[in-house]
Amino acid sequence: MEGLAGVALAIVLAGLGFWHLIVRRNLIWKLLGLNVAASGAILFLVALAHRPGARPPIVGLGPGPSVDPLPHALVLTAIVIDFATLALALVYVIFLTEHRHTQDVDRLERDEERGWPQP
């Protein structure tokens, strides 16, 4: 039950985040959408590892079969990498804001078409 609810939630979260990643025009809003989509992907893997009535993958912690520990090991590193790439992306956004004075994607594209700013 918990596993299925988790999978459903993960799919909805991934869709929600992905939608905002594509439709929003402000770069920081896009990054927030990416954040939610990534958390959906992580939840998807963790929910897949769950079995009904299973215990945590720690020896001697309750009865019953253990959940699959491999997805947990995968997403543990993915969470840390998410943070690192987010920091790098924010540095690029700060760069754009300092040099082009805008965070709007449409505006940036229009400036590129008009050939502004001149080097």
Partner 1 sequence: MKVLAALSLLSLMALLALGVSGVFPRPAVPPAEDVAAEWGAKNVVATIVLGVRLWDTLFEILVYAMTMVGVKLGLRLLRWEHAIPPVRETPLLRRSADLLLGPIVVFALYVAVSGHLGPGGGFPAGAILGTALLLLALAKGVERLSAEIHEPSLEWAEYGAIVAILAVAGGLLLVGRRGSGYLIAANVLIALEVGIGAWVVLHRFASSRGEV
Partner 2 sequence: MGAILFSALTLALAVFALTQRRLLWGVIGVGAHSLALAGVYLFLAAPDVALTQAAIGFGLVTFIYLLALRRTGKLTVVAVETPPLLHQEGQRVAGLEWEILSRFGRHLHQDVEVLWVTRAEIPRLLRAGEADIGAGGFLPQSEDGVLLSRPLVPTRIVTVRYAPGPLGAVAGDRGEDHLPADRATYEDHRELASALGAGEVGGAVTDLLHVRQWILNGEIPPVVITDHEETSFRLAVAPGEEDVHQALDAFLAKLEANGELAQLVRRYVG
Structure tokens at 90: 């924010």
> What does the alpha-carbon distance between residue 118 and residue 112 come to, in Å, rounded to a whole number?
10
Report the site for partner 2 in 89-118 (rule: CB under 8 A): 90, 93-94, 97, 99, 101-104, 107, 117
CA distance 59 to 57: 7
Decide: 34 and 17 in contact? Cβ < 8 Å: yes
1 binds partner 1 (CB under 8 A): no
Tell me if 79 sits within 8 A of 42, measured CB to CB.
yes
Does 91 bind partner 1 (CB under 8 A)? Our answer is yes
102 touches 108 (CB < 8 A): yes
Q: Does residue 65 interact with partner 2 by CB under 8 A? A: no
Euclidean distance between CA atoms 91 and 86, whole angstroms? 9
Site string for partner 2, 18-57 (x = CB under 8 A): --x-----x-xx--xx-xx--x--xx--xx-xx---xxxx
C-beta of 90 vs 112, nearer to partner 2: 90
Q: How many CA atoms does the CB half-sphere of 4 hold within 13 Å?
A: 3
SS3 (DSSP) at 60: coil
Residue 104, φ and ψ in degrees, nearest 5: -95, 125
Residue 52 binding partner per list partner 2, partner 1, none, with a CB distance cut-off of 5 to 8 Å that depends on partner kind: none
Q: Using the rule CB under 8 A, is 72 a contact of partner 1?
A: yes
Return the residue of 88, 113, 115, 116 that touches partner 1, per CB under 8 A: 88
Which spans of this chain sit near partner 2 (rule: CB under 8 A)?
1-3, 5-6, 9, 12-13, 16-17, 20, 26, 28-29, 32-33, 35-36, 39, 42-43, 46-47, 49-50, 54-58, 67, 72, 75-76, 79-80, 82-83, 86-87, 90, 93-94, 97, 99, 101-104, 107, 117
